[in-house]
Amino acid sequence: MQPDYPAQPQAPKGLTWQCINGCGACCRLDPGERPEALEALDAEEQELYLSMVGADGWCRHYDTGGQRCNIYDSRPRFCRVSNLARIFAVPEAEANGFAIACCRQQIRSEHGGRGRVLRRFERALRQPPSPSPD
């Protein structure tokens, strides 16, 4: 079954998904907050996901001070936004809108719906795509 995450993955016209520096919202893995993320994974990846959750709910590989991933080049498949649509069984044509909706949801949850991080993300969506989109 396809998890309901996020509720309405629209594909906004003229917006191109890209990650921004100093966010890290998707590295908060607490399964109590993200049950749909865990549900979408196969058994092996669920085990890996759960092994990565730290006591504070953040990924053990996330440097909260530096706001960066310590294993970025070898991070798991489910950390790569380019794989998100496949994991959640979203059609390729909706992948961009789905990634945008997922990030908005995570950013609102971790940084607030009126905060600087969300505003930076919204601005980035209007820029040309960055060379490394995952």
Binding residues (CB under 6 A) for ligand SF4: these are: 19-20, 23-27, 29, 52, 59, 61-62, 69, 71, 75, 79, 81, 103, 106-107, 121
The residue among 1 and 73 lying less far from ligand SF4, judged by its C-beta, is 73
The residue among 96 and 106 lying less far from ligand SF4, judged by its C-beta, is 106
Q: How far is the CB of 88 from ligand SF4 (least distance, A)?
A: 14
Handedness of CA 34, 37, 43, 49 (dihedral sign): negative
- Cα atoms in the Cβ-side hemisphere of radius 13 Å centred on 119: 3
The residue among 29 and 40 lying less far from ligand SF4, judged by its C-beta, is 29
The residue among 1 and 65 lying less far from ligand SF4, judged by its C-beta, is 65
Exposure b/e, 19-47, CB count within 10 A at least 16 = b: bbeebbbbbbbeeeebeebbebbeeeebe
Q: How far is the CB of 103 from ligand SF4 (least distance, A)?
A: 3
Q: How far is the CB of 110 from ligand SF4 (least distance, A)?
A: 8
Q: How far is the CB of 102 from ligand SF4 (least distance, A)?
A: 7
**If DSSP states are collapsed to H, E and C, what string results for 7-36?**
CCCCCCCCCCCCCCCCCCHHHECCCCCCHH
Is the bond preceding 6 in cis, omega lying within 30 degrees of 0?
Answer: yes
The residue among 3 and 48 lying less far from ligand SF4, judged by its C-beta, is 48
Q: How far is the CB of 40 from ligand SF4 (least distance, A)?
A: 15
Residue 68 belongs to what H/E stretch?
strand 68-69
